[in-house]
Chain A
Amino acid sequence: MDIKLRELSDEELILEFQKNNTEDAFNILVQRYKNPLTNFVFRFLGDYEACADVVQETMIKVYRYKDAYNSVAKFSTWVYTIAGNLARTEYRRQRRRNIFSINDYGEDHSTYDLPDESSRPDVVTDSGIKDEIIQKALLKVKETYREAVVLRDIQGLSYEEISEILGVNEGTVKSRINRGRAQLQELLKGIYKE
């Protein structure tokens, strides 16, 4: 891979990919964003397998719709927007599936096996018990607040970037973050006491 490409910014890389269809530029972008996006999507969804699929789908969308990127915007904002949209869609799909599966159980009275989460890769990644508790608490926070909190407090993005990603103004972002934090604080009271 060209060393010069590695020195380019995200925006320069995507432009290079747009103009010259340089696949190496795309590969560098994948390397740069695969972990941050995986972290963001996992914290939002709480399901590692689904999270890996969503991030993969995000990257494929970047590849397929590279011409849709507008050079005025930051690449990170664009890629987080795609990932956020896909993550939201996946989260709603999972929620619907859970509702239907519970309903089915109620109707046909068949046995309903709860999955054993101890052997799951996401649980293995979250080795600490504290992390697991925080993650569970995070999943209990309202969807819109959770996304804002993850982007701000876990991914470390600015309010401006978050407002662009979520498509709302900064005031709304701040209020969502505060509400999300408040809900989390309420859920994590026990941890702080310890």
Chain B
Amino acid sequence: MENDEKKYEDVIKALKDLKEVKAPANFEADIKRRINSEKFSNKEKKTFWQNIFLPSRLIPSLGLVAAAVVLFFVVETNSEDVDNPFLIEPRVREDVFAVTNYEEVGKKQEELSKQKSLKKDEPVLEKRRDENELKSSDDKIVSGREKSGEVEGLLDEKDVAKDQSILADNLAAAESSLAVVTESPQPTVPAEVDAGKVRGQSINKEELNFRQVQLSTEEQKVVNELKNQVQSLEKANKTQK
């Protein structure tokens, strides 16, 4: 350390020889004045949060928020509604069919070609179908009205029986309309299918585009057991009624 001081001896001496700078003459008076002015100016110190929520600071920020909200809605209204691709039901391909045997592939292809040729006549068929539906609905209304006239004044038990008969009439009307439809060559119900089998909502599953699973013998057994159980339950329900 002494070596350092010797090394910079000249510098140290020069610095020590510098004249002392003194405070201004009115230094103490100025301090007193400032202290007194601070004493009498009762400024309440605002906290950090008070400073943040000053109205002068809130106004521009609120303006910004309002502008952001308006912009958001403007942009939102201009944007097109886009369907969520994950929620759209997939289109069923008409040329896809499920077969259990490889030999059936040829037959199915022939059916498809027939269906395509028949599609040209579809508008006419749809017209016919609509007419039939209209007729059936008119029949329902008429029969309903007639029967409601007859039902007036009867007991509740009879009401139930009549309701059932109305339902049966409706079903018959619907079946007749479907029968008309099935007479015409429909792509979903091929001509091979027996007309007796096509009753009401009964549609042959094999003709649908569902994925068909070939069950093993064990699985088939389990399914059969379940079917039997369901049938026995249904029978039991009917006997109870």
Contacts and interface: CB of A to CB of B under 8 A. Distances in A.
B8 A178 contact: yes
A153 interface: yes
B21 A51 contact: yes
Contact of A30 (B8, B19, B24, B31): B31
B43 interface: no
A191 interface: yes
A192 B10 contact: yes
A30 B30 CA distance: 12
Contacts of A130: 14
B213 interface: no
Interface string A157-194: 00000000000000000100010011011001001100
A149 B15 contact: yes
B4 A178 contact: yes
A149 B38 CA distance: 36
Contacts of B28: 27, 30-31, 34
Given A182-B8, A184-B11, A184-B15, 7 more contacts: A30-B27, A30-B31, A38-B21, A52-B23, A127-B19, A149-B15, A153-B15
A43 B21 CA distance: 9
A34 B21 contact: no
Chain A interface size, as a band, is: 35 or more
A131 interface: yes
B34 A60 contact: yes
A134 B22 contact: no
Interface of B: 1, 4, 7-8, 10-12, 14-16, 18-24, 27-28, 30-31, 34-35, 38
The 10 closest A-B pairs by CB, nearest first: A181-B8, A153-B15, A34-B23, A38-B23, A42-B21, A39-B21, A184-B11, A181-B11, A185-B11, A35-B22
Contacts of B11: 153, 181, 184-185, 188
A127 B27 CA distance: 22
A35 B34 CA distance: 19
Contact of A56 (B16, B18, B27): B27
A59 interface: yes
A63 interface: yes
A59 B1 contact: no
A116 B4 CA distance: 39
Nearest to B26: A52
Most chain B CB within 10 A, of A31, A37, A181, is at A181
Nearest to A174: B1
Given A35-B22, A55-B23, A122-B21, A181 B12 contact: yes
